[in-house]
Amino acid sequence: MPLIIKNKKLLFQGKFTKLWGTIFLDKAGKERTWEWLEKKNPVLIFPITQDNKIILIKNFRIPFEKYIIEIPAGLLDKEGEAEAKGLIK
């Protein structure tokens, strides 16, 4: 049986995020819900130094209750912020 998407419903709406639940039938025909997060204006930065090293950051993430090593990311949430496109040197 192929995977069948039944519907999508909004579970929660915050200031910067929405939590959605997509209800689908799996290959066995069992109904399941896939929860996923939509963020408003997300940005991701992949910084590389002139000597080709990647810069990572260490952030404390409350859902994990520990520090996580990750690439810099965030939201365009301040008035006047503009998206950067392409390489910036």
Between 40 and 24, residue with greater pLDDT: 24
pTM confidence score: 0.57
Q: Is the pLDDT confidence value at 37 over 70? A: yes
Q: Is the pLDDT confidence value at 1 over 70? A: no
- Cα-to-chain-centroid distance, residue 25: 24
Residue 9: its H or E element: strand 4-13
Most confident of 5-9, 42-46, 81-85: 5-9
Nearest Cα to Cα of residue 87 among 29, 42, 46: 46
Q: How many residues appear in the chain?
A: 89
As given in the structure block, the two tokens for residue 51 are 């000597």
pLDDT score recorded for residue 85 = 64
pLDDT score recorded for residue 27 = 85
> Parallel, antiparallel, or unpaired for β 73-75 and 42-44?
antiparallel
